[in-house]
A and B are shown apart, each in its own frame.
Chain A
Amino acid sequence: MKTNLPPDSSNQTPVLRVQDVAKEFRVRSGSILTRGDGVLHALAGVDFQVYESETLGIVGESGCGKSTLARIILRLEKATSGNVYFREENLMTVPPRRLLELRRHIQMVFQDPFASLDPRMTIAEIVAEPLRIHKGLVPKGQERERSLQLLERVGLRRQDGERHPHQFSGGQRQRIGIARALASEPELLVCDEPVSALDVSVQAQILNLLQELQDELGVSYVFIAHDLSVVRQISDRVAVMYMGKIVETGPSEEVYENPLHPYTQSLLSSVPPAPGRKRRFSGLNKLEGEVPSPINPPSGCRFRTRCWKASERCADEVPDLVDRGFLHPSACHFAEPLDPGSGVGDISLVSQP
């Protein structure tokens, strides 16, 4: 519900621009069907932008490539092809020295707050570490003071600085991880499933904290999660991924209220409704089967093997992620909104050419 709606791409340079990114992994597979060496297509032609002070939510099921994408944005992994621009600079081609400097501006919050903090350091040391690496952010000798301030900012106490990670609960550890990520005053925070390891009573605290910090600091988020409700709550815009591709993207409100791609529609209808609420698109049949192997993705549209609208065209022709006359882009030849109540049985939906 923020006032700063997704800005028009024409009048603002994005903080992050991901352009036609593909990532392939060479895998040795022993199973009967895929014997020998194979190429796993983790990402194929991913495009998106993130603007100042906004949150782009990336949602998808396991294996859709969302975490690979996070690692590529941070250049922890190199894309097979494509470009990743931070402001004006292409992270794919900048010299290593410059990359180190740029890392100051792009930080990450990890999923597992138990694995991502060094157990032998005090939390004040953990949070001060980025300040020691990126010199000049605070006057020499002030790192510790700054890290204690950051701890206070994320809801911990100054005296907690002396304690070690194991003395904190999961939610508190995630606060420490956020404080560390913010230490170098980044412009972009990539959050990979930051609340999925937390209990629901604590999850809301962390989501609120992230929103407050964004309002205060103007930092942008790429927020990656599998929980559709969490993504809706925190995101200004969302991108829905399936098998390494974005199948639909747009303002959250738009995508959640008027999903166009059959995959988005069935995802939303799979979520069990909270007590007293209605299931979205309840007339939709349950999605059959499972995600195919990314080693041999289906030709054409990768979702066609599970799609009730699939026709010959879907096998032959890859659907581009483009505006199809419904306010936001989708990658389906037969993209069309559903009636949120039920209305799924409409024959017009299926027979649309």
Chain B
Amino acid sequence: MKDQSASGGGSIQDSEPVKEKSEVLLSVEGLTVDFDTPFGKLRAVNGVDFEVEAGETLAILGESGSGKSVCVQAVMGIVESPPGHVDARHIRYKGSELRDLGENQMQKIRGAEIAMVFQEPHAALDPAFTVGQQIAEVLRVHTGCSRSDGRKRARELMERVGIPSASSRLDDYPHEFSGGMCQRVMIAMALCMNPKLLIADEPTTALDVTVQAQVLELLQDLKTEMGMGLILITHDVAVAAEVADRSLVMYAGKVVESGPTVEIFTNPAHPYALGLTDAIPHLDAQVERLIPIRGAPPDPRKIPDGCAFHPRCGRALERCSAEIPVLRQVTEIRQSACHYAEEMLSEN
């Protein structure tokens, strides 16, 4: 956490293709998260690897129960144990292993280095305190600054995230803010300490489409301006494509495909990604019937043998129910966990 910080700021914005010397912020390998439940052990995340560089946006895409949120909760060290058990080959932030840190040291990383924005902004704010107090509290905890400095900085942050008449709204309570404005407050809180990595878990899912557009734009601007890494958790393919350079597609606790977002969904190398593309209705055309994926995502307590997607897969063969496909490099920039990924790619 010491030497690389100098290279962070300026170099990232000017060029996209020259990405060799970007700094890897977060590197996760072999992440597995289990939960004890009254019905037995449940594996929510099963051997997930990913990396995020400074200035990059990574989307983790999946449906409910795919394990996408648990992944980042494990990184942040906020999976409750028991019932949760986190295991990994490593979870490194700027080269140091996060799991070796004590709770005190981890507390300093959370918020200051890696910050998080959640889906339900109203639920994440305390209704009994003004938003100004809540933003200032983060500053006081991390920097020990004075009340008035905290207030001043809170106002600046609220202005930065686009809350109109910030100086008067400092003293408003969360219920006086709309969903979109609350999400801006959450983002302001997350930015307090100029984090290097921002994790946004479904930040726009509860918001209307016009407000979603505003919040996504804000997140992108902030990322560029501050050279942050951004991890966006979402179920929405279009939202991922809008903001994320790269995506991981998760299904039943595993990554089934990864690569540049637009490539994944215009030329899928996994039947699940293809299925999602076909199942989504489009704004610019009506079709006679959509092509759904049959069945439903599996119960995490009863993941099918072999490829977890095989009972829903139109191209599944015998091999798929017997042999677990490993996530492997299928082109220079793409990874897929389908036995027949190469065939899928060659068909297009």
Contacts and interface: CB of A to CB of B under 8 A. Distances in A.
Given A61-B208, A172-B296, 18 more contacts: A61-B210, A61-B211, A62-B179, A62-B208, A200-B235, A200-B279, A202-B292, A228-B209, A229-B282, A271-B238, A273-B241, A274-B237, A274-B282, A274-B283, A276-B266, A277-B282, A280-B283, A287-B213
Contacts of B266: 275-276
Contacts of A272: 212-213, 216, 236, 238-239, 241-242
Task: Name the residue in A171, A230, A253, A277 with the highest tally of chain B Cβ atoms < 10 Å from its Cβ.
Answer: A277
26 contacts: A61-B210, A169-B297, A200-B279, A201-B297, A202-B293, A203-B279, A204-B280, A204-B292, A207-B290, A226-B208, A228-B283, A267-B209, A268-B283, A270-B209, A272-B236, A273-B241, A274-B238, A274-B265, A274-B282, A275-B262, A277-B282, A280-B284, A286-B213, A286-B214, A286-B217, A290-B181
A1 B279 contact: no
A217 B180 CA distance: 41
Given A200-B63, A203-B279, A272-B241, A266 B210 contact: yes
Interface residues of A, number: 47
B280 A229 contact: yes
B217 to A, nearest CB: 6
Contact of B281 (A205, A207, A226): A207
B271 to A, nearest CB: 11
Contact of B292 (A61, A201, A230): A201
Interface of B: 63-64, 164, 176, 178-181, 208-214, 216-217, 235-239, 241-242, 261-262, 264-266, 275-284, 286-294, 296-297, 312
Task: Name the residue in B212, B275, B292 with the highest tally of chain A Cβ atoms < 10 Å from its Cβ.
Answer: B292
Contacts of B275: 201
Interface of A: 1, 31, 61-62, 169-172, 199-205, 207-208, 211, 226-230, 232-234, 252-253, 256, 266-268, 270-278, 280, 286-287, 289-291
Contacts of A253: 286
A234 B286 CA distance: 8
A275 B238 contact: yes
B240 to A, nearest CB: 8
Given A204-B292, A276-B266, A270 B213 contact: yes
A232 B283 contact: yes
Given A61-B210, A208-B290, A233 B178 contact: no
Given A232-B281, A290-B181, A275 B264 contact: yes
Contacts of A289: 164
Contacts of A286: 210, 213-214, 217
Contacts of B216: 272
A267 B283 contact: no
A102 to B, nearest CB: 32
Contacts of A205: 292, 294
Contacts of A207: 281, 290
A227 to B, nearest CB: 8
Contact of B265 (A211, A267, A275): A275
Contacts of B179: 62
Contacts of B213: 270, 272, 286-287
Contacts of B287: 1, 233
A61 B204 CA distance: 14
Nearest to B216: A272
Given A61-B210, A290-B178, A274 B241 contact: yes
Contacts, number: 142
A175 to B, nearest CB: 11
A62 B212 CA distance: 12
A212 to B, nearest CB: 8
A201 B281 contact: no
A273 B285 CA distance: 12
Nearest to A293: B178
A7 B284 CA distance: 24
Contacts of B178: 290-291
A208 B292 contact: yes
Task: Name the residue in B217, B261, B286 with the highest tally of chain A Cβ atoms < 10 Å from its Cβ.
Answer: B286
| 10 pairs of A and B residues whose beta carbons are closest in the complex | A204-B292, A233-B281, A275-B265, A61-B208, A201-B293, A204-B290, A199-B63, A204-B279, A276-B266, A272-B242
A203 to B, nearest CB: 7
A173 B65 CA distance: 17
A169 B296 contact: yes
A204 B265 CA distance: 17
Contacts of B264: 275
Nearest to A62: B208
A291 B211 CA distance: 10
A171 B296 contact: yes
A61 to B, nearest CB: 4
Contacts of B293: 201-202, 204
B283 A270 contact: no
A274 B296 contact: no
B281 A204 contact: yes
A280 B216 CA distance: 17
A226 B294 CA distance: 25
A252 B209 contact: no
Contacts of A273: 238, 241-242, 283
Contacts of B280: 200, 204, 229, 274
Task: Name the residue in A169, A202, A275 with the highest tally of chain B Cβ atoms < 10 Å from its Cβ.
Answer: A275
A19 to B, nearest CB: 28
Contacts of A290: 178, 180-181, 211
Nearest to B260: A275
A275 B259 CA distance: 13
A111 to B, nearest CB: 14
